[in-house]
A and B are shown apart, each in its own frame.
Chain A
Amino acid sequence: MSELERQRWLAGLALAAAVPLPITGIATWPFVLPYMLMAGWLLTRSRLVAAVPAWLENILAPLVLVAVVMAGGLQYGVLRPVAHLAVLVATIRLPGCASPRRTRRTLVITAIIAIAGIASSTHPSLLVYLLAVLALGTVAAGRETLLGLRTAELPLAPRLAWPPARLVAATVVLAVLVAAPLFAMLPRLRSPFAGTAIGSGGTSGFRSDVTLHGIGSIKVSQEVALTARFAGVTAPPREWLRLEGATLNHYRAGGWVEGRNVEPLPLPSLGEAVPLWPGTQPAGLQRVEITVEKPGTNLFLPPGSVSLEPPLAVEVSRTPMGVLRIRRGTPVPFSYAVSFDPRRVLAMPPEASDLEVPRRVRERVTPLVEDVVVGATDPLAAARAIEQHLQTEYTYSLRTMASLREDPVIWFLFRGRQGHCEFFASAMAMMLRIEGIPARLQVGFSGGELQGDGSFVVRESRAHAWVLAWVGGQWQVFDPTPLEGQPSVAQEGWRPRIPWSWDDVDAAWNRWVLTFTLFDQAEMLRTVVTWIGANTRPVGMAAVAVAGLTLLVIATWRRRPSSRSAPGSERPRGTDPVVRALEKVLAQAQRRGLEVDSSFSPQAFGRLAAAAFPVAREAVAWLVEAHERRRYAGGPSPGRRELRRNLAVALKGMQQASARQVDIQQLGAGR
């Protein structure tokens, strides 16, 4: 490959590697733009571009480091500064990349940039991007290989040195077919891509614990989580659709968990409604039927739930916080009904942990709380002031950049000043606790889409977080998220439900790629094993049938006329048992190191084999003689038993010894 062409290829690969960077935000535009401009310029140049002089590189090197530090350094994790550094270094090093000395280093830096971009991507188009890069890489590798074969003795016009499109397409298709099961089977030890502390993206949807660290964008999933139908009410108030899934009161290291490891207690199965709270009045209760569509471990309850009609054949247990849980892997859909008092919010009484605030948060946030609640005369007013402050002074955003080195609540309140509902709710909970008001974080779903039959569809995108605060001797709900970030009740749109619409694709991508976990692997394996176990007989019969059919196809395929063969090179196949026996002996001799020329006659081979494997001499001689007698003298086939015995002796004799190197000339073997 000429240096000019190599320069263009490297520039093209550098541009391709840069595509995800501005989209994911892993590298900011001030860093990405010069890199893309440099790569684009090199791509279009018609002559080689010399490398940046070493003295200039020495001047730029510390400036690069300064730029990376000023862009945030390690406070957003490792990925961003690495991406920034790689992009800047690549910008400086791309000129002169075509020289053999610099090509490899340029490829390494480009690969680092590409991996940083890929690792921070959450959009389904990542798959398309990867396939395109795969195809581009295949073309580049093929072209480099073909041009590398050129010599003065082996001329090859550059226009002919392109891998065929069919080969590239076949490579990509086959790679995808192999990659799909590999992706499912590769071992996973950590939480999935979405929601990890070092992860760079998240997926919206209910989760029973909350982690605030992270960088990237939250993806909004349109998957249906559940449906709800209120008995006798077609237009319920919005608050009825605030369905609690989990109540969290322990704030640890930037995240909320429900509590210490306490096993949930199973609810008694009474065959009828189970009371959830003692002493509740039956008057004024409303009833809702909820159908869970998405697998999970939580049941969702409207505020003031007093009794539960459990789902059939589903074991329900209850945590100390009052959260209802079901066994993981419970088949969906299933339905249950809840009676609730919409005038009340029922939860476990406050406890000491409802006032816990990390020391650093308390130190930092207390002055803010004092400023916000100044003038509040009672806890309710203070809570409303905090709620209002957060709703008006902060911006709702799905884009998160919570630092690893800083508490996310502190980051949200004082630096980021933007975030999603979990940030708002967490901040309010901390501020309330600092003010001495017990507070908890609740997560669940809020709002839904009214269907024509009066039911409400609740999608994953309506997952929400709000605050329970103990004010005035009772629990009250506060929602500090700005209105634009609060899920609402919407009328069913006329939008037709198109199968495999983009929402379905996006949801499937989120579910089966981004958030694929070790649990999912175990579930798949369990499902397969269960299915096989339940269908052993038909599966066994099907497996035998498939195996038999496969063998038949293979045997038929092998017996077909050979593919285009050279003129005059057709080889007759041996069908005679003596011939087949000799073929086996020949193969064994070759495996044991005897070099047999294809032009040797059976006699020549026999002499050679006898000399090389003395132990098998007599047996080989017998086989050769039997073959010649049959072929040339028209003699009968030898007895099957005798044939097998000699064959076994010959093979075993060769098996036990390596071939002695025999000079064919000394044997005077004829051809």
Chain B
Amino acid sequence: MSTGLRTTSFDQAFPGFSLRPAPALWVFLVAMPLLGVAALNTGNNALYLLVSLLLGVFAASGVLSRHTLKHLRVALQPMGDVFAGSPVRLRLWVGNGSAWLPATGVLCRLVGMPGRVLVPLVGPRGECTTTLTTMFGRRGMHRLPAVQVEVRLPLGFFVKTVRWPQDRDVLVYPRRVAGGLARWLSLSDREEYRRHGGRERGGDVDQLREFRTGDDRRDIHWKQTARQQRPIVVERRERRRPSRYLVLDRQLPRRDDALLAERFESLVSEIASAALAELQRGHHVGLVVGSSVTPPAAGSTQTRLVLGQLALVRAVGPGDDPLPPAIQGESVYRLVEGRR
């Protein structure tokens, strides 16, 4: 709970505690009564000594494993970008708060997801960082899964388990697919998109001409203007970068249709894969999702921006978030009903 609420002290120390008997326990439970009866029947104090020590070691095993479990802490961190359906490595930090007892044979699993790792030894007041590989099934913002920590030693009679929930979220990008040809929309000749990077300043000087309305004031050639007593601009050969957008119409033909929702996911994956491919080539990519426009850019920041938007985009019903009027009827990614 974000407000600092906490559970009882046992639950706090051992969240999600569970105890599972191991095969060795059954052997012990069969042997101990036999030994006890033998000691009782014969009055042999050496057997009593053996029985006492075996009971003592049973208790000691329980105490020490509980001590180990109590002082273990774990934390997960994603490493790099996370894509749905792709193996992802998570960094696992394991800390041992015990002042004197090392933690041995600690098995860490992710709850509800694949991925586990065996930490052989964490010394007293020590820590260890390792990685494990898992996979997120769906895109979106996910809370990192809880880590289930299992301890067996010293004797392996029980498998004691706690579950440490994680506080961090991870943004899972859409699934990468080998899609077909991407449907790009060029908007460089649209006035409203011009200032979103349809033109790029710089380039070789083409000519000097008189200033016209709409020219960039930074292109004014002040010397010539002073000489000719009229505004003169430098016209350069524009390095037009392609104003390429990927456009996603997130309106579904019908609401609450599971099949359409699933197809929408495939659509998002396709767009994301196309965007990623272009961005990895160093090209500029813009994104239009419903009424939201992300200007084209390149680089890692743009990649994260575009993929992040696609990771969080949700389908809406018809008419809930129409595309900008300028893009109506253009080549966009949208789901349509098939003809029957």
> A-side interface residues toward B, CB under 8 Å?
111, 115, 118-122, 126-127, 130-131, 134, 138, 141-142, 144-146, 149-150, 153-157, 160-161, 163-164, 166-168, 170-180, 182-183, 186-193, 196, 198-200, 513-516, 558, 562-569, 571-574, 579, 582-583, 586-587, 590, 597-602, 605, 627, 631
Q: Which residue in B7, B57, B167 is a CB contact (below 8 Å) of A175?
A: B57
Given A192-B45, A565-B95, A605-B1, A178-B105 contact (CB < 8 Å): no
- B48 and A142: CB pair below 8 A? no
Q: Beyond the given A118-B47, A171-B60, please list 6 additional residue pairs across the A-B interface where CB-CB is below 8 A.
A: A145-B155, A146-B153, A167-B102, A168-B154, A174-B60, A565-B73
A183 to B49, CA, bound (A): 6
A574 to B49, CA, bound (A): 49
- B105 and A146: CB pair below 8 A? yes
Given A170-B60, A567-B93, A601-B1, A115-B153 contact (CB < 8 Å): no
- B7 and A599: CB pair below 8 A? no
- A627 and B3: CB pair below 8 A? yes
- A177 and B56: CB pair below 8 A? yes
Residues of B close to A167: CB separation below 8 A: 64, 101-102, 104, 153-154
- B35 and A574: CB pair below 8 A? no
- A145 and B153: CB pair below 8 A? yes
The 7 closest A-B pairs by CB, nearest first: A563-B97, A190-B43, A566-B75, A179-B56, A174-B60, A175-B56, A178-B56
* Number of chain B residues whose Cβ lies closer than 8 Å to a Cβ of chain A: 70
A601 to B35, CA, bound (A): 55
Residues of A close to B3: CB separation below 8 A: 574, 579, 601-602, 627, 631
Q: Which residue in B8, B53, B101, B105 is a CB contact (below 8 Å) of A166?
A: B101
Given A566-B75, A579-B5, A175-B60 contact (CB < 8 Å): yes
A605 to B64, CA, bound (A): 36
- A142 and B127: CB pair below 8 A? no
Return the chain A residue nearest B115 by Cβ: A153
Stretch at the interface among B116-124, B194-202, B258-266: B116-124
In the assembled complex, the CB of A557 is this many whole angstroms from the nearest CB of chain B, namely 11
Interface hub of A127, A145, A573 (most chain B Cβ within 10 A): A145
Q: Which residue in A149, A186, A582, A583 is a CB contact (below 8 Å) of B118?
A: A149
Return the chain A residue nearest B59 by Cβ: A178
A176 to B59, CA, bound (A): 10
Given A175-B56, A179-B53, A564-B97, A599-B63 contact (CB < 8 Å): no
Main secondary structure of the interface of B (DSSP, over half): mixed
15 inter-chain pairs at a CB distance below 8 angstroms, sorted by A residue, are: A119-B38, A119-B44, A154-B118, A161-B105, A167-B104, A171-B155, A174-B56, A175-B57, A178-B52, A180-B52, A182-B56, A196-B42, A563-B97, A566-B93, A571-B4
- B46 and A126: CB pair below 8 A? yes
B165 beta carbon closer than 8 Å to chain A: yes
Given A119-B44, A193-B43, A171-B64 contact (CB < 8 Å): yes
Residues of A close to B74: CB separation below 8 A: 566
Residues of A close to B9: CB separation below 8 A: 558
Residues of A close to B49: CB separation below 8 A: 118, 126-127, 130, 179, 183, 513
Return the chain B residue nearest A131 by Cβ: B53
A456 to B36, CA, bound (A): 44
Return the chain B residue nearest A598 by Cβ: B165
- B95 and A566: CB pair below 8 A? yes
B6 beta carbon closer than 8 Å to chain A: yes
- A163 and B104: CB pair below 8 A? yes
A515 to B56, CA, bound (A): 21
- B153 and A119: CB pair below 8 A? no
Return the chain B residue nearest A153 by Cβ: B116
In the assembled complex, the CB of B70 is this many whole angstroms from the nearest CB of chain A, namely 8
A241 to B54, CA, bound (A): 46
B98 beta carbon closer than 8 Å to chain A: yes
Residues of A close to B105: CB separation below 8 A: 142, 145-146, 149, 161, 163
B312 beta carbon closer than 8 Å to chain A: no
A590 to B16, CA, bound (A): 11
A582 to B1, CA, bound (A): 11
Given A166-B100, A190-B41, A602-B64 contact (CB < 8 Å): no
- B104 and A142: CB pair below 8 A? yes
In the assembled complex, the CB of B9 is this many whole angstroms from the nearest CB of chain A, namely 7
Interface hub of B8, B24, B118, B168 (most chain A Cβ within 10 A): B118
Interface hub of A176, A196, A583, A590 (most chain B Cβ within 10 A): A583
Residues of A close to B95: CB separation below 8 A: 564-566
- A179 and B43: CB pair below 8 A? no
B113 beta carbon closer than 8 Å to chain A: no
- A196 and B118: CB pair below 8 A? no
- A574 and B4: CB pair below 8 A? yes
Return the chain A residue nearest B63 by Cβ: A174
Return the chain A residue nearest B150 by Cβ: A149
- A573 and B4: CB pair below 8 A? yes
In the assembled complex, the CB of A611 is this many whole angstroms from the nearest CB of chain B, namely 18
B186 beta carbon closer than 8 Å to chain A: no
A16 to B315, CA, bound (A): 71
Residues 153-173 of B, flagged 1 when their CB comes within 8 A of A and 0 if not, give 111100000000101100000
In the assembled complex, the CB of A453 is this many whole angstroms from the nearest CB of chain B, namely 37
A176 to B50, CA, bound (A): 11
- A515 and B45: CB pair below 8 A? yes
B284 beta carbon closer than 8 Å to chain A: no
Residues of B close to A563: CB separation below 8 A: 71, 73, 97-98
Interface members, chain B 14-68 (any A CB < 8 Å)? 22, 24, 31, 35-36, 38-53, 55-57, 59-61, 63-64
Interface hub of A171, A515, A558 (most chain B Cβ within 10 A): A171
A179 to B22, CA, bound (A): 23
A574 to B31, CA, bound (A): 48
Residues of B close to A183: CB separation below 8 A: 48-49, 52
A164 to B40, CA, bound (A): 36
Return the chain A residue nearest B74 by Cβ: A566
Given A160-B120, A565-B95, A138-B154 contact (CB < 8 Å): yes
B152 beta carbon closer than 8 Å to chain A: yes
Residues of B close to A121: CB separation below 8 A: 46
B125 beta carbon closer than 8 Å to chain A: yes
Q: Which residue in B6, B22, B50, B61 is a CB contact (below 8 Å) of A171?
A: B61
Q: Which residue in B5, B52, B59, B152 is a CB contact (below 8 Å) of A582?
A: B5
Given A174-B56, A563-B97, A564-B96, A583-B42 contact (CB < 8 Å): no
- A564 and B73: CB pair below 8 A? yes
A433 to B49, CA, bound (A): 43
In the assembled complex, the CB of B77 is this many whole angstroms from the nearest CB of chain A, namely 9
- B45 and A190: CB pair below 8 A? no
Return the chain A residue nearest B141 by Cβ: A671
B2 beta carbon closer than 8 Å to chain A: yes
- A145 and B52: CB pair below 8 A? no
- A188 and B43: CB pair below 8 A? yes
Residues of A close to B64: CB separation below 8 A: 167, 170-171, 174
Return the chain A residue nearest B166 by Cβ: A569
Residues 73-110 of B, flagged 1 when their CB comes within 8 A of A and 0 if not, give 11100000000000000000101111011101101000
- A163 and B97: CB pair below 8 A? no
Residues of B close to A146: CB separation below 8 A: 104-105, 120, 153
Residues of A close to B60: CB separation below 8 A: 170-175, 178
- A199 and B43: CB pair below 8 A? yes
Q: Which residue in A178, A192, A569 is a CB contact (below 8 Å) of B73?
A: A569
Residues of A close to B118: CB separation below 8 A: 149-150, 154-156
B320 beta carbon closer than 8 Å to chain A: no
A156 to B105, CA, bound (A): 10
